[in-house]
Amino acid sequence: MTQDNALLNDVLLPVAGGGLLDRRLFLQRSLELGAGAGLLLTGMDASGAELQPWQKTPGAPFSHYGQPSPHEKEAIRWVSANTAAAGNGISWTPLHKLEGMITPNGLHFERHHHGVPQINPDRHRLNLHGLFRNPVSFSVDDLLRDPLVSRICVVECGGNSNAGWHEEPIQTPVGYFHGLASCSEWTGIPLSTLLDEAGLQPDARWLIAEGADAAGMNISIPVEKALDDTLVALYQNGERLRPENGYPLRLILPGWEAVLNVKWLHRLQAAREPVMARNETAKYTELQPSGKARQFTFIMDAKSLITQPSPGYRLHGPGLYQISGLAWSGRGKIRKVEVSADGGKSWAEAALQEPVLSKSFTRFRLPWRWDGSPLVLKSRAIDETGHQQPERAALVAERGRNGYFHYNAIVSWAVAPDGSLSHVYA
Ligand SMILES: Nc1nc2c(c(=O)[nH]1)N[C@H]1C(S)=C(S)[C@@H](COP(=O)(O)O)O[C@H]1N2
Ligand SMILES: [Mo]
């Protein structure tokens, strides 16, 4: 018996009660590692699989802030900047590349009217003025000392999905059609706390919020919503807000069109009347078939879409698939999502993945066996208030052809025999 073998036998004998083994077992581990090194030389692991280069040498060092794998270069925001106006434009969340319900901060959609201000938090203040008994000015540090609360909710631009109003169905990955919506955990201070502290006067009906960007975007918020679930957010998915999403602080009005979620918030004026800013008169209003215009249409209605499979992907032949998608409603929780694989003739109830949260992305899934024939996939959401997503024809009949905002019709993907998908009005 060699000296090494004797050592191996020794260290496997218990050295004390309860199964304690000899501390020299670590030496045996290194003997095993020696054997492993032999495998390394043969270029195969114990299962006979070939060792990859990264299994043979130490990996990259630590990093202060992580980045996605370089192999995930397609999971990016799609930028659509307005070249006529500096800093004006949008970028879309790649919903077709994501799973689960939370949007990573680097992929939260963006809408800026005048670029992303680079704010020094030490020089930023939030001023409450107008119809308050004690007008007050907060520093960011003041606000960070207040008791914080968190909630998960969707931020969705009122103009999201508006390509649905086009005469012809837009052909683009689903995130670049419906991705002006993102879902995050927001942490901050209930606005009602700050309004209490400043002594909101009873005759105040509106709060006029203004951002510290060069556009000085302003908009009017009804006092009822401000006192209900509105948050002054400081954190987004656990870290401080990203500059593009409002650093150091922004408003979050769960379920309402995102234009009200004023970023870089620096002023709240309590008033009797709305300010009639551009974004509540020239924009975010729509002429109806009745001849009347919609205004102050704050709530984002129920919506759903299938993200897998979706246009840009190709099914690899007949067989078993999992349909996966997102549903949400600005009115509350999603009660039910139904999926059709025959263009709306029959519907099956999808499984909703927990947690199902109010005004948040809800992931739905349904197994599906594709037999290779052409068909149309659809999904429709019903929220806890009973609101159901309309068919496109019904939405157009109700709202007419001047629609630009609040498009929430059922979305249809046609599957071709070659497994490719396209957006159809069906
Ligand atoms: N100060 C300020 N707030 C703003 C805007 C802006 O341009 N400036 N854009 C609004 C619009 S139209 C939308 S859709 C949301 C977008 O928020 P996000 O960029 O964090 O996704 O911010 C809103 N708040
Ligand atoms: Mo927006």
Residue 118 lies in a domain: no
CA distance 208 to 204: 11
- Please report, for the domain that includes residue 319, its CATH number: 2.60.40.650
Residue 35 lies in a domain: no
CA distance 184 to 170: 27
Check pLDDT > 80 for residue 76.
yes
Give residue 182's domain range: 125-294
146 CA distance to ligand 2 middle (Å): 29
Q: What pLDDT score was predicted for residue 41?
A: 61
> How many other C-beta atoms can be found within 10 angstroms of the C-beta atom of residue 336?
16
Residues 310 and 419 in one domain: yes
* Average confidence (pLDDT) over 237-251: 98
Residue 123 pLDDT grade (very low, low, confident, very high; cuts 50, 70, 90)? very high
Q: Which atom of ligand 1 is nearest to the CA of 215?
A: 8
Ligand located closest to 217 CA: 1
Residues 280 and 315 in one domain: no
Tokens 């105040």 found at: 204
Residues 266 and 338 in one domain: no
* Average confidence (pLDDT) over 214-223: 94
The model's pTM is: 0.89
Q: What pLDDT score was predicted for residue 239?
A: 98
Residue 10 lies in a domain: no
Task: Give whichever of 19-23, 293-297, 346-350 has the largest mean pLDDT.
Answer: 346-350
Q: What pLDDT score was predicted for residue 34?
A: 46
* Average confidence (pLDDT) over 327-356: 97
Contacts of 327 (CB under 8 A, 6+ apart): 302, 303, 304, 305, 334, 337, 352, 361, 362, 364, 379, 381
| Lowest model confidence (mean pLDDT) among 44-53, 105-114, 336-345 | 44-53
Q: What pLDDT score was predicted for residue 106?
A: 98
CA distances in angstroms from 304 to 126, 159, 364, listed in the order given:
36, 16, 9
Residues 224 and 144 in one domain: yes
252 CA distance to ligand 2 middle (Å): 13
Give the ranges where 207-360 is alpha helix by DSSP (H): 223-227
Q: What pLDDT score was predicted for residue 73?
A: 97
Count of domains forming the chain:
2
Residue with CA nearest ligand 1 atom 14? 157
Q: What pLDDT score was predicted for residue 36?
A: 46
Residue 372 lies in a domain: yes
Q: What pLDDT score was predicted for residue 8?
A: 55
Q: What pLDDT score was predicted for residue 24?
A: 61
From 254, 272, 294, the end of a domain falls on: 294
From 261, 294, 327, the end of a domain falls on: 294
Residues 284 and 154 in one domain: yes
pLDDT tens per residue across span 397-408: 998 887 789 999
Residues 314 and 197 in one domain: no
Q: Which of 261, 265, 278, 283 has most ligand 1 atoms within 8 Å of its beta carbon, as the pocket-test mutant? A: 261
pLDDT tens per residue across span 131-165: 999 999 999 999 999 999 999 999 999 999 999 99
Residues 132 and 255 in one domain: yes
Query: Is the four-CA dihedral 360, 361, 365, 371 of positive or negative sign?
Result: positive
262 CA distance to ligand 1 middle (Å): 6
Average pLDDT, the chain: 91
Residue 187 lies in a domain: yes
Q: Which of 263, 268, 284, 298 has most ligand 1 atoms within 8 Å of its beta carbon, as the pocket-test mutant? A: 263
Residues 273 and 312 in one domain: no
CA distances in angstroms from 91 to 27, 79, 187, listed in the order given:
56, 4, 23
Q: Nearest-CA neighbor of 175 among 78, 296, 242?
A: 78
- Please report, for the domain that includes residue 188, its CATH number: 3.90.420.10
Question: Which token pair is 301?
Answer: 């209605």
Q: Amino acid letter at 91?
A: S
Residues 168 and 265 in one domain: yes
pLDDT tens per residue across span 317-341: 999 999 999 999 999 999 999 999 9
